[in-house]
Amino acid sequence: MKKLLITSAVMIALSSGAHADVQISMQPGSQCWSYQGLDTFFFGSFSSGQALTIAVVEEQANEKGGMEAVAYDAEKIWVNGPDHYYKDGNREDPNDRVIFTEKPGRYIFNLYEHGTGAGAPVSVKICAMKKEQRK
C-alpha cells in the first residue's frame, strides 16, 4: 500500500509539469521577455537599480458563467528577491506599478499568493530598464 501511495504521488508530480517554474531569460540586447501559457510562477536574475514593469493578461470566469480577459500590472504580483525583498500582491499604491530591484540577484514573481498554474492561458511581459531611464 505504501509503495502504491509513493508511486501515485510521483505520477501526479510528473503529470503536473504544465505548472512548473519558468525562468525569465531575456535575449541579448532585449529589454523585455514574454510568456504565454498556464504557468504563473517566474524567476530570473536582475542587476541592482533596475525598474521592472510587468503586464499580465489572463482569462477569468465572470459572474455570468463565461470568461473574460483581465489585465493588471506589478501591483497585483507577489515578488521575492535578495535580502528578504518582498512585495505583497495586494498593493494598491500607484507607485507599486514598477518593481525596483534594490540588490542584484534572483527575483521571483508569482501571479497568485499560493501555488502555481492557471486554469486558462495567461500572457506575461516583463521589461527591465535602468531606474534613471524610466520616464
Contact call for residues 110 and 44 (beta carbons, < 8 A):
no
Q: How many CA atoms lie within 13 A of 52 on its CB side?
A: 26
For 71-95, write each residue's pLDDT tens digit.
999 888 999 999 999 999 888 887 7
Tell me: pLDDT of 66 over 70. yes
Residue 99's pLDDT is 93
Condensed to tens digits (0 to 9), the pLDDT of residues 25-44 reads: 998 889 999 999 989 999 99
pLDDT over threshold 90, residue 125 = yes
Asked if 31 and 46 count as a contact pair (C-beta separation under 8 A), the reply is no
Q: What share of the chain has pLDDT > 70, as a percent?
A: 81
**The whole model's pTM is what?**
0.76
Compare 115 and 129 and report the one with higher pLDDT.
Answer: 129
Q: Which residue has the higher pLDDT, 14 or 106?
A: 106
Q: Which of 50-59, 67-76, 117-126 has the highest mean pLDDT?
A: 50-59
The two most distant CA atoms of the chain are separated, in Å, by 62
What domains can you pick out in the chain, each with its CATH number? 30-133 (2.60.120)
Report residue 123 as a C-alpha cell.
500572457
Q: What is the mean pLDDT of residues 99-121?
A: 86
Band of the pLDDT at 115, cuts 50, 70, 90? low
**CB of 81 closer than 8 Å to CB of 105:** yes
3-state secondary structure 1-32: CHHHHHHHHHHHHHHCHHHCCEECCCCCCCCE
Pairing of strands 41-46, 22-23: parallel
